[in-house]
Amino acid sequence: MPRTALLVSAALLAALLSPAVSHAADDPAPVPVDRFEGEVPFASQPAEGIFTWGSDTDDPPALQLTARSDAPEGAKVLTGSYDISGYGGFTHDFAATEPAHDWSAHQGIRFWWDGQDNGRKIAFEIKDGGANGEASELWTTSFTDDWTGWRQVEIPFTDFVYRTDYQPVGGIDHVLGLTGMWGYAVTLPAGVKGRFAMDDVELYGRADQSLRANVTTDAAVYPVKEGGTAAVKVTVATTGAAPIDDPVTVAYETAGGSADPDKDYTPVHGTLTFPAGTVSGTSKTIEVPTLRDKAAESAETVPLRLTVTGAKAPAETPQIVVDAHGLPYLDAKLPVRKRVADLVSRMSLAEKAGQMTQAERGAVGGGGDIATYALGSLLSGGGSTPTPNTPEAWAKMIDAFQLRARATRFQIPLIYGVDAVHGHNNLSGATVMPHNIGIGATRDPRLAEQAGAVTAAEVRATGIPWDFAPCLCVSRDERWGRSYESFGEDPALVQSMETVIQGLQGRANGRDLSRSDKVLATAKHFVGDGGTEYGSSTTGTYKIDQGVTKVTRQQLEAVHLAPFETAVDRGVGTVMPSYSSLDVLGDGQGPVKMHARADMINGVLKDRMGFDGFVISDWNAIDQLPGDYASHVRTSVDAGLDMMMVPYTYKDFTGTLVDEVKAGRISERRIDDAVSRILTQKFRLGLFEHPYADTGGAAAIGSPEHRAVARRAAAESQVLLKNTGGLLPLKKSEKVYVAGSNADDIGNQSGGWTLTWQGSSGNITPGTTVLQGMREAGGNVTYSKDASAPTDGYDAGVVVVGETPYAEGVGDVGNGHSLQLSAADRAAVDRVCAAMKCAVLIVSGRPQLIGDRLAGIDALVASWLPGTEGEGVADVLYGRLPFTGQLPVTWPRSESQLPINVGDTSYDPQFPYGWGLTTLTRVPQGGTTTLRALALAATAAERVGADRTGRELVAKARLLVQQKVGQAITDAVAKPFADADHLLLTGRYGKAVQKLTEAYRAA
C-alpha cells in the first residue's frame, strides 16, 4: 500500500475513533518514527533497535511484529504480552553511531494504541540530549488505557516533564531541546497480566509558539523582610532555544493573599512584553515593594497573578512572602524552651499535625504541598537522590524545599533526613565507611567517633541536618539481613561504639548541633530488632527481619535496652522504633508491634531514661498496626511517636490526625508534647536562623582527609582468623595471584545502603577496590576473577570472596540468601588454594560457613564490608599496618548452631567472639605464670580506674592465649575466651585475664 494511502486511512480511522482534531494546513507532513513493518530490528545499543527491560528476569515483556488485518498503518503492528511484578517495558533507541534526530519542528509525537479498557496508566518517555539513548535525559508523561480498539494517542511535547526519580546519567541541561532526540520508551502496567498492540509512531504538527514557548519565574516563593522589595524575574524560553516568532505578553497584578494592600505592600500591576525575535532565556523583573507597619506579625503572602499570551504560563502563581518578625520565637537570644512554648501557643491544630509529618521528597514533586500541609519534615529514602547526584544538586534541592516552607505562616523550617548509615552513602562520590559490623570489629571507640564526624560533615555540607543513624541493634542471629547494621552481638560492644553519636552530634548537651559539620543523630531501632526469632516475620518473604523478639524482662534490659540508655546519656536527638514486635515473657501481652508499645516508648524511653528528643516512626511502619487507619494513627501517637514517616500518605495522616484530635480520641496535650520535642531539635540545629544549606564544607566531601579515616577504619576492621606459617603480611617482592568475585568490585565491598537501598554490584561509586589497593601498595599482582588463568609460578594467592549487596529482610537467610559461598567462589578458593599458599578474604555482612575448606586455607580474613577504601585492606595485607581486628560476632561452624552468642551455655563455634590474630606485634612469652602476673596487674588497674592500662594488659593475655590455641578451638577454649572479651568491655580487666587463663589451660 502506498505511503499516501496509509496516511489517508490512518486519518480516516482517527476521525472515526478519536475526538476531532484540527490541524493547520501548513503543518509539516508527519515524520515516521516506527512503522513496525520490520524496518527497525529487535536489537540494542549501539545499533538502532527495539529492546525490552524489567526489574527482574520475569518482567520484560514478550514482543513480536504481528500481521493484523486491522493494522492502522501497513500490514504489521507491534504486539506484546506482559506480567510485571516490579517494572518493565520496551525502548526504541536510535543508533548511537549516527547523529541524534531533530524533532523541534513538530508539535508532538503520536501513535496508535489498541485499547484494552483496563483503566491502567501507561508511561511514555522520550529521550533528549546526551551521548546516546542510554545516556540521555528522560522526559515522561502517561496516558490511560480506558477505551477499546484502535485509537490514535497524540502527545504534545509540552506535556512531557523531566523525570526527577530516575535518570540513566546525570542531567544534561534539564531542558527539552528536541534537537538531539534518541528515541522513546514505554513502561507497561505492573501487577496485572496484560497484552498490547501499537502501531505507527510518528511526529505530527507544527511547533507553534504557544506550545514551544513558555514563561517561568525564577522561584515560586519570594521571602522578603518587612519594608523590603521583592524582585520576581520572569523569563521566556523556547523548546530548542530558538528566538520567539511572535510577541509574548505577561500581564501581572498583585491580588489576594493574607497581606493587606497599602498596609503590608504597595499593589502593582502592568504588562511585560517580549517582542518577536526575543532570544530564548531573556528575563524581565517585576518589583513588589512591602511596607513597614511596626507590628510584630506572622508571615503574610502576596500572590502575583500572571496572565500570559503567546506562551505557556508558569505552573504556579508566584508568592511574595513578608517574613514573620518581632515574635518571641524568632528571638535567638531567648532560651529554646521559651521559643518553643511561644511558637506552639500560636500554632493551629493543622499546623501542629504538619510538624508531626514526614514525607518522601519524591512524593511532594515541586514542593507546593509543603506549605499547603505545613509539613515539618522530608526525607530521601535509599536511592532517592537528585539528578545529577552531586553535593551541589543536593543542596539546591533541599534549599528549594526549605524555600517552600517560607510560605507558611510561621516559616518553620523543614528538617530533612537521610539514612547515612556508613558515610553519606546516598551521595555519589561520598566517603563510604565500613558498615557497623566492621566498625565493631575495630574495637576502637575513637575511630568510631571520627567516622561519625566525617559522615556528619559530608551530610551537613549538602544541606541535610538529620541522619537516621546509628543502628544500636544487638545482632543475635546472623541470618538476619540487617546484621551488618549492628556493631556486634554483645551489648557492651555496641555501647562502646556509641562514641559515633558524639561524632555525629558533638557534645551531649546539643550545643554543637548548629555547627555546619554536625547533624542530629537517630538511635534505632528501639527496641530488640536484633533479637527477632527466625521464622517469626510476617512481612512478605522475610524470615527474621520485622519478626518477634521473645525475651525475659532481664534479657530485655541487659541485652537490648542497655545501648539505648547509653544513647540517651550521650544526648542522642531522635529515636526510631523497630518494625519488629516485642514479646516480654510473663507480661501477659504477647507479641506487640514496637510502634504500639507505649510501655516501652513513653514508659521506659521517655519517662525512665529521660529521653527529651523526639521519636520518629520507621517507613510506613504504622501501617503494620492492627485496625483501621484511624486506629493506626491513634495507637502510635498515644504510644509516644512524635513524627510519622509516611512517605506517600502524608495527606491521609495529617487529615486523620486532625480528625482524631477534634473527636477527642487523641489529646491536644499529647500533640503539644510531640510538636514541642520536634521544634526543640529544630531550634538546637539553628534551622530558624539558617534554614538553607551551608556548603562551605562541600569541598571536603570524598576528600583525601576524609578517605584517610575510612581507610584506617577498613584496615582496623580486618579480622585475621587464621595465619598458618605467617603467610600474612605479604611481601611486595612476592608474586601474588588474586582471584574471587569480590576482589575488584566496589559495589560488593560497600554492601547495601550504597547509592540505593539494596546496593548493587559493580563500579557504582568512586573508590578503591581491594585489588586496586594491592596494586597501589606496590604488590606484584596478577588478577583472574574466576581463577581460570594459569596458577603456576606464584608465591601466594589471595582469593576475595563473599556476598553481594542486600538490605533489611531482603537479605534474610532463606529469602534468596544463604551463609554459604557461591559455587563460583568455592571453585576459585579450591583452585587457588590447591595450587599455592593462599589467603582467603571474606567480604560479607556476616560470617560465612567456611569450615569444610578451612584445612586447605593458610590464612583466613573476615573483611566485612570495608566500604570504598580498599587500600585499607591492602594496608594490613602488605604489613603497612598490623591486623588488630576482633570478631564482633561469633563465627559459627554450621547454620544449625544459630543463634549462637557470647554467654551461651552451649558454645562451640568455629571462631569465638573476640577472636582476632595480629601481625607486626610481639606476643608475650611465658604461660600461666605470665598470665597470673597479667591478672594481678589488670586487677590493680581496674581498682584505680586505669582503663587504658587494663585494656592493654588484657590484650597481651589474649595474644598469648591465641598463640597457644592456634586452630585447636574447642568449646572449652571458646567459651571462656569469648566471655573474657565481654568482661574487658565492661571494665572487669582482672576477671577477663582470669577467663583467658581458663581458655589457655583448656587448650
Q: Which helix (H) or strand (E) holds 201?
A: strand 193-204
SS3 651: helix
Count other Cβ atoms within 10 Å, centred on residue 377. Answer: 24
Spatial separation of the C-alpha atoms in residues 604 and 14, rounded to whole Å: 69
Task: Give residue 3's pLDDT.
Answer: 29
Residue 209 has pLDDT above 90, yes or no: no
pLDDT (mean) for 669-696: 98
Angle among Cα 946, 948, 950 to the nearest 5 degrees reads 65
Residue 292 has pLDDT above 60, yes or no: yes
List, for residues 461-519, the tens digit of each pLDDT value: 999 999 999 999 999 999 999 999 999 999 999 999 999 999 999 999 999 999 999 99
Question: Which residue in the list 490, 642, 716, 808 is annotated as catalytic?
Answer: 808
Helix axes 989-1002, 928-944, angle to 10 degrees: 160
Active site residue 226: no
Between β-strands 735-739 and 796-802, what pairing exists: parallel, antiparallel or unpaired?
A: parallel
Instruction: From 571, 891, 488, 852, select the one nearest 720 (Cα to Cα).
Output: 891
Residue 454 has pLDDT above 70, yes or no: yes
Residue 9 has pLDDT above 60, yes or no: no
Burial class of residue 75, CB neighbours in 10 A (0-12, 13-18, 19+): middle
Owner of C-alpha cell 511502619: 621
Residue 251 has pLDDT above 80, yes or no: yes
Task: Give residue 13's pLDDT.
Answer: 34
List, for residues 753-767, the tens digit of each pLDDT value: 999 999 999 999 999
Task: Give residue 868's pLDDT.
Answer: 98
Active site residue 117: no
Least confident of 365-369, 538-542, 706-710: 365-369
Task: Give residue 16's pLDDT.
Answer: 33
What is the band of 206 on the pLDDT scale with cuts at 50, 70, 90?
confident
Question: Which residue in the list 297, 449, 618, 981 is annotated as catalytic?
Answer: 618
pLDDT, the chain, mean: 95
Residue 229 β-bridge partners: 289
pLDDT (mean) for 141-167: 91
Residue 1 has pLDDT above 60, yes or no: no
Residue 933's contacts (CB-CB under 8 Å, 6 or more residues apart) are none
Task: Give residue 799's pLDDT.
Answer: 98
The C-alpha cell that represents 517 in the structure block: 559539620
List, for residues 552-579, the tens digit of each pLDDT value: 999 999 999 999 999 999 999 999 999 9
Residue 116 has pLDDT above 60, yes or no: yes
List, for residues 916-933, the tens digit of each pLDDT value: 999 999 999 999 999 999
Between β-strands 135-145 and 161-162, what pairing exists: parallel, antiparallel or unpaired?
A: antiparallel
Spatial separation of the C-alpha atoms in residues 396 and 386, rounded to whole Å: 9
Owner of C-alpha cell 562451640: 908
Spatial separation of the C-alpha atoms in residues 995 and 976, rounded to whole Å: 5
What DSSP string describes 12-76? Answer: HHHHHHS------TTPPPPEEEE--SSSS-B--TTS-EEEEEESSTT-SPEEEEEE-TT-SSSSE
List, for residues 342-395, the tens digit of each pLDDT value: 999 999 999 999 999 999 999 998 899 999 999 999 999 999 999 889 999 999
Sign of CA dihedral 419, 420, 425, 429: positive
pTM across the whole model: 0.87
What is the band of 154 on the pLDDT scale with cuts at 50, 70, 90?
very high
Residue 956's contacts (CB-CB under 8 Å, 6 or more residues apart) are 924, 934
Least confident of 130-139, 425-434, 681-690, 760-769: 130-139
Residue 17 has pLDDT above 70, yes or no: no
Residue 340's contacts (CB-CB under 8 Å, 6 or more residues apart) are 329, 676, 679, 680, 683
pLDDT (mean) for 263-281: 97
Residue 118 has pLDDT above 60, yes or no: yes
Task: Give residue 170's pLDDT.
Answer: 65
Residue 255 has pLDDT above 70, yes or no: yes
Q: Is 710 left (phi over 0), alpha (psi -120 to 50) or beta?
A: alpha
Instruction: From 88, 92, 100, 80, select the one nearest 45 (Cα to Cα).
Output: 92
Spatial separation of the C-alpha atoms in residues 913 and 935, rounded to whole Å: 21
List, for residues 306-355, the tens digit of each pLDDT value: 999 999 899 899 999 999 999 999 999 999 999 999 999 999 999 999 99
Q: How far is CA 802 from CA 359, 602, 737, 822, 850, in A?
A: 36, 42, 18, 8, 11
What is the band of 21 on the pLDDT scale with cuts at 50, 70, 90?
very low
Residue 20 has pLDDT above 90, yes or no: no
Residue 953 has pLDDT above 90, yes or no: yes
List, for residues 389-432, the tens digit of each pLDDT value: 999 999 999 999 999 999 999 999 999 999 999 999 999 999 99
Residue 19 has pLDDT above 60, yes or no: no
What is the band of 12 on the pLDDT scale with cuts at 50, 70, 90?
very low
pLDDT (mean) for 91-119: 95
Spatial separation of the C-alpha atoms in residues 319 and 305, rounded to whole Å: 9
Residue 45's contacts (CB-CB under 8 Å, 6 or more residues apart) are 93, 96, 132, 133, 134
Spatial separation of the C-alpha atoms in residues 974 and 893, rounded to whole Å: 12
Task: Give residue 28's pLDDT.
Answer: 84
